[in-house]
Chain A
């Protein structure tokens, strides 16, 4: 029985092609990683872990497999839903096993390969290692890395898939994390209306209101939401009043520095119209509420970002008309192609 698994593997390696039988076997092949011309350079080193057809397929399977959690039901895709740009739409906090609830809102995982710090507080600085955090968090997936591996090692299909995807095969932590990373590295959202406009593709133009919004955005928002990733990846306190029942100190949990109190990573705004609720704790249900907060709700504290503090007061001055224009502009960042891309789809 066992040798049967080896036949396709050996064929895939091309060493048994002359055995006289005409069996069509898929070859593994390297996938092309998208590097949009309007993006900054990719941070992730794809040469260390080049996405391949089999590696990507394995990563996708793992992403949607509840085996990665303690009770067998909570997959990565449970909280990261494609149609909401891989966020948990409608949920203020991420939900985990046994109906437990986290304390932070599920962030999008589009364009992760272009960033160097991950999670709201930058708890890890390598994309490969990120999955350890939700997998082992007791209110998210509640597993251990070793526990996940033991389950996968018992699964003969996974054994085959790991061996096919990696030269140094085997169901190991290294290959497990590499496969998940390959799946995430391929998730590039770059075909919104805005992208086509800035790349002068398909004759796409923005409406007058969207253009007005873009101008306001560049003037008042783009110092933090920089580049066409719409984030500089830094940690900032944007002046949210801390939720007293959580008192989440953000970046300071990682750095141990009071200077980082209440700082959170500047989120990308790609697909932002789809990713409500907003902020690290999902407190705002609409973009209107977010902008109203920047107009009227910013609270001073020792770590408030200096960009939100001027002689004219706290926050960002916006008229009602400007707010509507900004929301119209933010709508142009929705990438229908990305959220409907079958390569990333669960079913």
Chain B
């Protein structure tokens, strides 16, 4: 089975009146790093709750590793899907960082030595060994977020969902969380990143699904989605600043599908014909 998630014509409404999600269909291949983007209120968080099985589709079907979320218990699905909440305060409730990591492992009935092994590994991997005995609420937001990701990834889920993991964090913390996500993905975990931090989408993900008003507006490569300026604008989003710059420099011969500063620097060098002065002639 090559798909970890299969969403087939899913509709969802909290009340009878309005559908928060309509006609949602997509499949996530194992090992993908996928972004779900969309304005505030576009249905992103609802879709994630459906994937975890916290809520069930009003219509349609969701399969997580072939398990139907409407029929399975949340606890069964929790072995497959790990969910990191936007606000770590919603997730952390134990008395120490270590307990936070061991809690779910014990809960799924792993033997003591396995719990210890996985906990030690997670604390090591996320640089949390020095704070293992600390009450999580005393940590900074960035550190709390790292504890949440460590606790969830210790469960070794096949699919990791990160809901706005970098909101309200400075660049250093946000980069650190994203690098951890990239490492987990490189080790084979499928990662879904829900965010409106377009720079992170451009840097880390391969594919992006754009939601608006409860529907999928685009599902394509990140490069394709983030260079559709008009479509993004209609959905209250903007491309990365560097992508906007590239578009503005089109008449100079710069290609418009630039996603990163590095790519733009390469492109400027290509279009302008290499360095104008040798580095040694430069004024420092």
| Co-complex (A, B) | no
